[in-house]
Amino acid sequence: MKNMVVGIEGLVGSGKTSICRELLYKIPNSVIFHGGNLYRGIVYAFMTKNKNLEILQNIDITKVMEELDVKIELENNETVVYVGNEKIEEEKLQNRETSMAVSVVANKANNIEMFILARKIINNLKEKYNVIVSGRALMEIYPSLDYHFFITAGLEERAKRKLKQYNNEVSLEELKAHIAKRDELQEKSGFYKTYQNTITVDVTECKTAIESANKVCEYIK
């Protein structure tokens, strides 16, 4: 039986990463490719070098990846990002500054080479595993997805979930404005597209990531 590729994308703060991690326990022999963290790793490395992000709008971002020595490795059934020999922890990749920078860059950059690179990584992983992919524009990156899920939740609920992630360092209203701005940028980038085969799952009422993952699993046969 051939391995499958399950794509998980959705609104900012809808719990995509947590859902993917729960799916690891529900889909045998599976790994997660955090496609969004590949992009975040490149932008994060660029920012730490104090380079002007505007440059990323006009150059091949995969060449930037090579120049900054950004690598993707598989650890504990999930892809992780290294810059040189340093593993970049998720809190750095997911912080507010990096998140907003990624949304801005993705809205203007030429992503074709990045999509080709992501497709290659998915195909390599698929040779051995069922692949759970988290990211943006997944149907463009990998048109032959076995399942394409788009996760939604209300703005208020998404802000509350992000508030926990940011350890209550900002107000709920500030976070709602931040998420709404990122939503706007993502939509302008074309990253909120749904397709004929897209399965939209609203997890607003789900109290845990397990509940959200269970809703997704109802559609996987």
Contact, 218 vs 145, CB < 8 A? no
* Average of per-residue pLDDT across 78-89: 92
What does pLDDT average to over the chain?
Answer: 88
Top-confidence residue, 114 or 23: 23
Number of neighbouring beta carbons within 10 Å of residue 83: 19
Does the pLDDT value for residue 32 go beyond 70?
yes
Contact, 64 vs 19, CB < 8 A? no
* Average of per-residue pLDDT across 90-118: 76
pLDDT in tens, 92-104: 887 777 877 777 6
- Which phi and psi angles does 65 have, rounded to 5°? -60, -45
Which runs of E-coded beta strand occur in the chain?
5-10, 30-34, 70-75, 78-83, 86-87, 130-134, 147-152, 198-202
Amino acid at 164: K
What are the tokens at 41? 């790793």
